[in-house]
Amino acid sequence: LKVSVLISGRGSNLQALIDACRAPDFPAEIVMVVSNRPDAQGLFRAQAAGISTAVIEPRDFPDKVSFDRAMTEILESSGTGFICLAGFMRLLSPEFVDHWRDRMINIHPSLLPLFPGLDTHRRALDAGMRLHGCSVHFVRHEMDSGPIIGQAAVAVLDGDDPDSLSSRVLEAEHLLYPWCLELVARGMVTVTGDTCRIAGH
């Protein structure tokens, strides 16, 4: 499976995917990393791994739809068949989401459908959650929604603050994302309506 990863920043999940793809029997290959920000740290990780990068900046386009179309062109010219969003901090047009329907997944730092959107760790703490975590899901029009492929839960500990909780969740993200990509790339995930079926589960 030829995968592109879309980022906006640090790229630690990108790194986890790069590392997983290095295993000789891993069923996916990262063909390109695309960032909407020229200063994204993750671009260095891609370069260090010898992966092509592209920076595409919203300010160079009149509107979201033309930006998203240009992104699809770049992605398809690199042979991309599947997209992993990894900290891509920009809402995608319905047209882009439809074009990549069931071929685009995202990682979100909460146990969806709880806490879509930003600032999830603080909100989980404020809600008094004892469990928190992360989800990998297919992308649908609504932000942080769509059929869930996998989730990982972590304990919320007394004395946690958003930083300590987010680093515990991030460790789980780095295990969950490659695992979910592997399931999809092996053809083990079928989307039926709003949910996923995983072969053998």
- Footprint on this chain of ligand GRF (rule: CB under 6 A): 9-14, 42, 86-87, 107-109, 134, 170, 173
Confirm whether residue 187 is marked as ligand binding.
Answer: no
The least CB distance from residue 144 to ligand GRF, in Å, is 9
* Closest to 87 (Cα-Cα) out of 37, 53, 131, 132: 37
108 has catalytic annotation: yes
Is 112 annotated to bind a ligand? Reply is no
176 is in an annotated binding site: no
| Residue 194 three-state SS | coil
Cβ within 8 Å of residue 198, ≥6 positions away:
149, 150, 183, 188, 189
Closest approach of ligand GRF to the CB of residue 108, in Å: 6
> What minimum distance in Å lies between the beta carbon of 74 and ligand GRF?
20
Q: Which is nearer to ligand GRF, 109 or 150 (CB)?
A: 109
Nearest CB to ligand GRF, comparing residues 21 and 86: 86
Q: Which is nearer to ligand GRF, 11 or 150 (CB)?
A: 11
* Residues of the chain by 3-state class (helix, strand, coil), percent to 5: 35, 25, 40
Measuring CA to CA, how many Å separate 101 from each of 6, 83, 92, 144, 147? 16, 10, 12, 14, 11
64 is in an annotated binding site: yes
Q: Which residues pair with 153 in a beta bridge?
A: 133
Helix then strand count (H, E) for the chain reads 6, 9
Task: Give the residue closest to ligand GRF by C-beta.
Answer: 87
Residue 71 tokens read as 């992104």
User: Could you tell me the smallest distance in angstroms from the CB atom of residue 4 to ligand GRF?
Assistant: 15
Distances (CA, A) of 188 to 28, 99, 115, 181: 13, 22, 27, 10
Q: Is 11 annotated as a binding residue?
A: yes
Q: Of residues 99, 108, 121, 141, which has the active-site annotation?
A: 108
Q: Which is nearer to ligand GRF, 173 or 182 (CB)?
A: 173
Q: Residues annotated in the binding site for (6R)-10-formyltetrahydrofolate, as ranges? A: 64, 89-92, 106
Q: Residues annotated in the binding site, as ranges? A: 11-13, 64, 89-92, 106
Catalytic residues: 108
